[in-house]
Amino acid sequence: MPLKLPSRYSKTVKQTLHWLIPSELVDHPENARGESQYLLQHARRLHDSLTRLPPAAGLRQRCLVVGSWGLEVPYLMDMLGWRDVICLCPPNSRPGIRQKRRRIHPNGTKEYEFTLIEHDLESGAWPFEDESFDLAVYWGCLEHMRHDPEFSLYELNRVCAPGATVSLLTDNAVSFQATHSLLRGEPMPMRLHWPAAQVSWRHYSPREVAELLEGTGWRVDVLTSIVPDPPVYWKWWKRWLFRRIVAGQRRGFGLSEPFWNAFLLAHAVKVAPPTRNYPSWLYVDEKVRRLKMEMIEMVSRRPGALVSA
């Protein structure tokens, strides 16, 4: 996705941005810098994903946001009513330490207190007790997992209560642009990268996302794509013909919708204890054996936890 700032935003997107950045920057996006600039660049993605999140329910009202430094906290706590929000972010200066943070409403004076924990998602068990959360927000993380992507969904299941919801957002490997690039014989954008680069490691198709979720104890209720891809500059009839042909091919192979858009959004409910499948399209045999041994060792060090390997 390009990082060009839109010149204006729709009324509904502005309503979501009200909880994220000052209104004057929404009206004059060319003045935005830093975090505000990032939020405006990704305004449509944030709107489409935030507005689909469920409101708080029950007594616990605990929400886990993975890969975030707390930018969603005002929306989650004030708009949706989640009382206890914990953000799990990449390690920086204080890994493993529970930090009490406050975030001020960008268009008011209200403060929201939340907990921030720096933790490497692939370095072992996450620092939470079993069945601690009713909602998990897992956006923009899966594509960065290199060592053991399925493990993060296993841990999400472990720390979520039965019936909890996970909202997963990741780049779409079969978007319009990716399909167009593949058929032209060009590299699929950011499909695989050199390990040293701090960018996406792997993009997933809708079927792969569903298989990973279902294989770790989740029931997928929603699987769709959001945010239109940048346009391919063809004449209108070429775009129309391309979409019609490819959409027919995809339906023939079991994709219920074309999944043209840039990001995949999945909502799933925990229906079983955490398990592992190690799908063959993601893991080679030797790596599966090694990962299974690591899982057995990790679980043996965590009292009261169960794993199906």
In a domain, 12, yes or no: yes
Range of the domain at 7: 1-51
Side chain identity at residue 137, one-letter code:
V
Residue 141 is assigned to a structural domain of this protein: no
In the structure, what pLDDT confidence band is assigned to residue 163 with cuts at 50, 70 and 90? very high
- What confidence tens digit (pLDDT) does each residue in 13-24 have? 999 999 999 999
- Average pLDDT, stretch 23-48? 91
Check if the beta carbon of residue 273 is closer than 8 Å to that of residue 156.
Answer: no
Give a yes or no: residue 24 inside a domain: yes
**Distance in angstroms (rounded) separating the CA atoms of residues 208 and 282:** 9
Spatial CA neighbour of 158 closest among 295, 47, 285, 21: 295
How far, in Å, CA of 280 to CA of 287, rounded? 10
In a domain, 284, yes or no: no
Give the percent of the chain with pLDDT over 70: 91
Residue 114 has pLDDT above 80, yes or no: yes
- pLDDT tens per residue across span 46-65: 999 999 999 998 778 999 99
Q: Number of folded domains in the chain?
A: 1
Q: What angle do CA 253, 258, 264 make, to 5 degrees?
A: 105
* 13 is a domain residue: yes
Residues 103 and 174 sit within 8 Å (Cβ to Cβ):
no
29 domain residue, yes or no: yes
Residue 241 within any structural domain of the chain: no
List pLDDT tens digits, range 239-259. 888 888 888 888 877 777 788
pLDDT of residue 190: 47
In a domain, 22, yes or no: yes
